[in-house]
Structure 1
Amino acid sequence: MTPQALSFNAPGDAEELARAELYGLLARLWWAPPDEALMAQFRVAVTQAPQPGGFLEHPWERLVAAGRASTVDSASAAFEALFGGVGKPEVLLYGSHHLAGFLNEQPLADLRADLARLGLARDPQRGETEDHLSFVFEVMRYLIAGDDVAVCNLTQQQAFFRRHVQTWVERCGEAVASHPLAQDSAGFYAALAALTTAFMQVETQAFDLID
């Protein structure tokens, strides 16, 4: 978790590594509340990007500040209040819900078909379905940084992003950011949602340039 990973100013391979690292960080934070090791990283993270004024600089600064103002316990409580609990969570982090209005609908089936084509499958130990926000971010991280060049390339990144990320993730981020419970724990999850939305906008614009 470094400012380089969020600046998108590094050339070539460094820029791709930065993208992959950010997808990985977002996947981790949307999967579970930060543990003490991750909170310690927030406490020492540099808040300014190497080139000030970048589109992600302010959302990153906001997330770092929220992380420093939070504790493991307060972030865990906020995560549970928003995304856990008995019954239906306050905010659902699943693509099928945001695209079709219900869980386990056609968007999930379409995603599974594309994952099978890519040779990817869900780890049954994780419990969540493949359309969880964390899962699609982890797939994007793999498509950027994986070793299989037949799968991990810009063409596959763009296709997966267009079909399974761009279609709903900003909407999900807005649902989190606007929820009153996201303002708890120093607004950590509101800040995380803002960084996620900003990053999706950066990625959308970048893929637009190669159409």
Structure 2
Amino acid sequence: MPKSILIQPIQNSPLPSETLDEIDQHRGEFYQFLASLFFKPPTQTQLDFLASLNITDDSLFGTALKKISDQARLVSAPLVKQEFDALFTGLTRGEVMPYGSYYLTGFLYEKPVADIRTDMAKLGLKRAETCQEPEDHFAVLCAIMAHLVSASLDQQKIFFEAHIQPWVNQFLDDLETAPSAQFYKNIAELTKIFIVLEIKSFDLVTA
């Protein structure tokens, strides 16, 4: 799996990995996809790739992904960057706050950040020096989950339920209804479907 620009191993000690099956490989790739899209706007190359997808899957996930593919044919990287900036940056703050602390406490840089740092350290991870976002940013959490697909399901479940599940649906609801959301409205819909699949999968695990 490609090296993340958001997280890195502590003392170059990668997490012990298990052999990935095809499903976990795809899960990891999708978490990386989400980490990329929520950390910065997509490049034209990424949009062209999405536009080139030939999606025949008529499941909820496939239908939502097809919406994104269809929309990618109609937008440009500069246009989506304007949307991204309005949603997540703005002059003082964006329309949506992609931070766990905001949803769990109402403030930024609160206890959830420290809790994530503690759990990351236990997993042998830390935030990459090049990453300016705090550990509770949704993109960073997705990067961590992408890394954890090579760990046990117990570890994945514990981290997901502690740091993502309590707030992610409210965040995605807010993103889906944000005034500037067009491309990212469909990203939010797809992410919500994926989160439901993850929750159902983890519900089968006895942690």
User: For the superposition of Structure 1 and Structure 2, which TM-score range results when normalised by the shorter chain?
Assistant: 0.7 to 0.9
Show structure 1 runs of 5+ residues with no match: 1-11, 146-151
Q: Answer yes or no: is the 8 Å Cα contact 2:53–2:69 preserved in 1.
A: yes
Select 1:125's aligned residue among 121, 124, 130.
130
Q: Point out which structure has higher relative CO (alpha carbons under 8 A, 6+ apart).
A: 2
What is the distance in 1 between the residues matched to 2:197 and 2:25? 15
Q: How does 1:145-184 map to 2 (within 5 A)?
A: 145=150, 152-182=151-181
Give the whole-Å Cα distance in 2 for the aligned partners of 1:67 and 1:24. 19
Shift of 1:86: 2.2
What corresponds to 1:3 in structure 2? none
1:27 aligns with 2:28: no
- Deviation at residue 48 of structure 1 after TM alignment: 2.2
1:76 aligns with 2:75: no
What's the counterpart of residue 23 of structure 2? 15
The CA deviation at 1:168 is: 1.1
1:203 aligns with 2:198: yes
Query: TM-score scaled by structure 2?
Result: 0.87
Partner Cα distance (1:191, 1:119) in 2: 34
1:107 matched residue in structure 2: 112
Structure 1 residue 85: Cα displacement? 2.3
- Aligned to 1:180, the other structure's residue is in SS state coil
Q: Does 1:144 align with 2:129?
A: no
Q: Distance in 1 between matches of 2:72 and 2:98?
A: 21
- How far residue 79 of structure 1 moved from its aligned partner, in angstroms, is 0.3
The answer to whether the Cα contact below 8 Å between 2:52 and 2:69 also exists between their aligned partners in 1 is: no
Once the 2 structures are TM-superposed, how far is the Cα of residue 101 of structure 1 from its aligned partner?
Answer: 0.7
SS of corresponding position for 2:129: coil
Separation of aligned partners in 2, 1:17 and 1:39 = 22
Q: In the alignment, does 2:183 pair up with 1:188?
A: yes
The alignment partner of 1:130 has SS state of: coil
Aligned length: 187
What do the CA deviations read for 1:97-126 (whole angstroms, capped 9, x no partner)? 011110011111111111111111001211
Partner Cα distance (2:115, 2:176) in 1: 27
Partner SS for 2:94: coil
Structure 1 counterpart of 2:110, which letter? E
Normalising by structure 1, report the TM-score. 0.85
Runs of 4+ in structure 1 off by over 3 angstroms are: none
- Tell me the distance in 1 between the aligned counterparts of 2:139 and 2:160: 14
Give the C-alpha shift of residue 22 in structure 1.
0.7
Give 2:95's aligned residue. 90
Q: Deviations over 1:153-175 (max 9, x none)?
A: 21110111110111111111111
The CA RMSD measured in Å over matched residues stands at 1.2
Query: Percent same amino acid among aligned pairs?
Result: 33
Aligned residue type for 2:35: A
